[in-house]
Structure 1
Amino acid sequence: MPKPAKGPRLGGGPAHERMLLGQLASQLFEHRSIQTTEAKAKRLRPVAERLVTFAKRGDLHARRRVMRTINDKTVVHELFTEIAPLVAERQGGYTRIVKTGFRKGDNAPMAVIELVLEPVAGQRRASRTTSPSASAPAASDVPVEDTNTIEESAPVESEAETPAATEVESEAAETAEGTEPAEGPAEGEPAPDDDAPPTVTR
């Protein structure tokens, strides 16, 4: 018993359905976008994506397989030379279906099916098995700020000191020895309280 096709049956029989889908695929590759009923667009999507997959192979056998569905050689040539290079980086999902409302007259739901020819944006997501340390950027990849800034500092004295410098240092040492220490409590004595009355010595 033949396996029923997915979705509604199109045309009067299987041969008519294959011819109808072949013509829709030919028009899609020629115009990059066509408007049809939603049922036909959903049935056309797997057929068109399979033909694009054959076109990405690019060999003679793939071209003959596409010619079984599309009889127009110019459309097949356009598919292999123009469309296939544009979707070479894309892993599936070559078509897009957008619903456009209902047709006037029989109120059939309409849709636009078009080829997705935009370049793939973004990078692939990291697999779940990879560790977070593997996904972190390497230390060499992190940009390093330029630290070659010149700071203003005092000029460095030469190792051999001049006689004038030694005299200035000796005078500073003598003045430091001659100064008296500031008045304050000794190391062992407690600090005086401000609230306590002053002691008078006679």
Structure 2
Amino acid sequence: MSTIHESANNRPEELQRLLDKELLQLEKITIEDFEVDPIEKPVTQEDLKQFQQFTSTSFRSLEELLESNQAVLPVDEAITRLQDEALQDRVQMAKRAVQIFTLFEDVRQTVDPESVDLLAQLDAAMDQAHLLLEEIGIQELSVYDEYFDESYMEAVGTIPVEEAQGIERFKVAAVFRRAFSIEGLVIQDALVKTVS
């Protein structure tokens, strides 16, 4: 009595026997069966004209394809140019919005500290304006207590370490104007004093 394992081992041998049996039953083919008939008729002028028309049509189609491709290139260039111009316009508008925000911030700095109600109203307006800037993609860059970074900070002076209230040397201890960016582009540098 054979086990399942033994019958599985015998399967390839059974398949080989079946294949050999089928091969023996196949019809034999000789090289003569593949003999090619010679061309029965010679090429005529009409055949040549048809071939010429076909190649001419193919060439015209190829030319049309190239022309249409060349027509697409200026469209792609125009789209790219419009996208670049749109980005430049967006950056310019963002700069204007930040300049307006900064003007209000400058006004707030000049208000008498005794005018508590007016300061509260200005602070509320400034907070709302800041949120509006964020909604249109303008981000404020972190400046205070950060190491000086000339890519978006401009130093207008220094503060002695004794007066820096625990801020490390080379870090920003005073901010006179905030820094903003849009889509990774700095649109306004911060004006700062660093610890010396």
TM-score, normalised with respect to structure 2: 0.20
Name the structure with the higher helix share: 2
Per chain length, whose mean CA-contact separation is higher, i.e. which structure has more relative contact order (CA < 8 Å, sep 6+)? 1
Task: Decide which structure has the larger Cα Rg and report it.
Answer: 1
Name the structure with the higher strand share: 2
TM-score, normalised with respect to structure 1: 0.20
